Amino acid sequence: MISWIAPLQPLLLGIVLLWSARLKLLSPHAAAAAGRSALAKLVGDTRALPAYRLVGAGEAALALVLLAPPALPAEALAAAALSLGFTGYLAYARVAAPDSSCGCLSATRTPVRWRSFARTGALLAASMLALPAAGSWFDVLRGRPLPAAALLLAETALLVVLSPELDRHWLDRLRQLKVQVTRPLPAGGFDVPLDSTVEQLHRSPVWRETAALLTSDLREHWDDDDWRILVFTARHHGQEVAAVYAVPRLRYQPAAVRVVLVDEPTGQVLLTLESPPDSPEPDWVLPSPAAAAA
């Protein structure tokens, strides 16, 4: 059993390391990824990018050695040592720079969480599995193509699941699909949210004239047939009064908004205000009384 599993591990490790090195050496986002990673804290901002590239070069070199025959136990030991080193780095990042990004497989900002540790653990396990490898992965792939491909696919799937960087490619899609199927959010009835009414109030001519009087935020509101009543506190001639606005509830007609200022203890109305009726025609089109008389 182990005789065909072990030689496949260098292939897996080599591909993962090449992928990781690609970001660090070739990606245009490498500088940004390095700056966001805990390396900036570990070796200083100016040395973060060279250190990042150095890690990438190490990964690429080890990947090429792992992929090239023959399979030597020393290569597996080197991969295990690298995984251990990553674990130490992740632990350092978690403790010293918890806000930093992993910078592992993608430039996407990914804080270090348990999945990153599990992924390095999986790589460590693969390195240990590779230790007794006797032959080349190429021979195994040729000799047992189906089981070998299945095993590699399963291992790759495990690594993808353990990579938070790749979530947006599969996990977000799955969750979007689930939302489309289960529709967990209310699609909304015809009731008008309070926010919508307040916005209509803010766009009304009456509001422009009276907003400067208000001292409080929205105090109270209730519905009355076609109207939604909004109550604020206002200051009018040095007196604290209630500013009672009536806003159309089911139509959008800011010009219809009206207000009264009421002295609440006495119930006395101090001011009423509504804007002139909306007319599609400008004032000068309306017949003037003088012209009509002549």
Partner 1 sequence: MTENLDRRRLLTNAVVGSAALAGATALGSLAPEAAFAAPGEQAVEPGAPDPNFAEGRITGISAGMLFVTGSDLALWRIRITGGTSIWKLRPTTFDQVAVGDGLYARGLRLPDGTLAADSVWVNIVNVHAHIAAIGRNLLHLDHKGKRIVGHLVPGTSAARYNNTPAVSDMSMLRVGKHVQVIGAWVPDTNEVEIATVYAAA
Q: List residues binding partner 1 (CB under 8 A).
A: 99, 109, 111, 113, 168, 172, 175-176, 179, 182-189, 191, 193-196, 199-200, 209-210, 212-213, 215-222, 224, 227, 229, 231-233, 235-238, 240, 242, 244-246, 252, 258-262, 264, 267, 269-276
Whether the bond between 70 and the residue before it is cis, its omega within 30 degrees of 0, is yes
CB of 50 to partner 1, least distance (A): 27
CB of 35 to partner 1, least distance (A): 17
Nearer to partner 1, 136 or 196 (CB): 196
Nearer to partner 1, 105 or 133 (CB): 105
Nearer to partner 1, 181 or 294 (CB): 181
CB of 176 to partner 1, least distance (A): 5
Are 128 and 76 spatial neighbours (Cβ–Cβ below 8 Å)?
A: yes
State how far the Cα of 231 lies from the Cα of 223, in Å rounded to an integer. Answer: 12
Nearer to partner 1, 61 or 177 (CB): 177
CB of 226 to partner 1, least distance (A): 8
Picking from 97, 94, 84, 87, the residue whose alpha carbon sits closest to that of residue 45 is 97
- Give me the residue label for tokens 């995984």: 83
Nearer to partner 1, 99 or 139 (CB): 99
Name 40's Cβ contacts closer than 8 Å, sequence gap at least 6: 34, 48, 97, 100
Nearer to partner 1, 151 or 274 (CB): 274
How wide is the angle at C-alpha 155 spanned by C-alphas 154 and 159, nearest 5°?
115
CB of 260 to partner 1, least distance (A): 5
CB of 206 to partner 1, least distance (A): 10
Neighbours of 111 (CB within 10 A): 14
Give the C-alpha distances (Å, rounded to integers) separating 158 from 12, 16, 116, 118, 278: 12, 12, 12, 10, 66
Neighbours of 270 (CB within 10 A): 16
Nearer to partner 1, 53 or 274 (CB): 274
State how far the Cα of 36 lies from the Cα of 68, in Å rounded to an integer. Answer: 33
Nearer to partner 1, 70 or 276 (CB): 276
CB of 230 to partner 1, least distance (A): 9
Pairing of strands 239-248, 258-263: antiparallel
CB of 32 to partner 1, least distance (A): 17
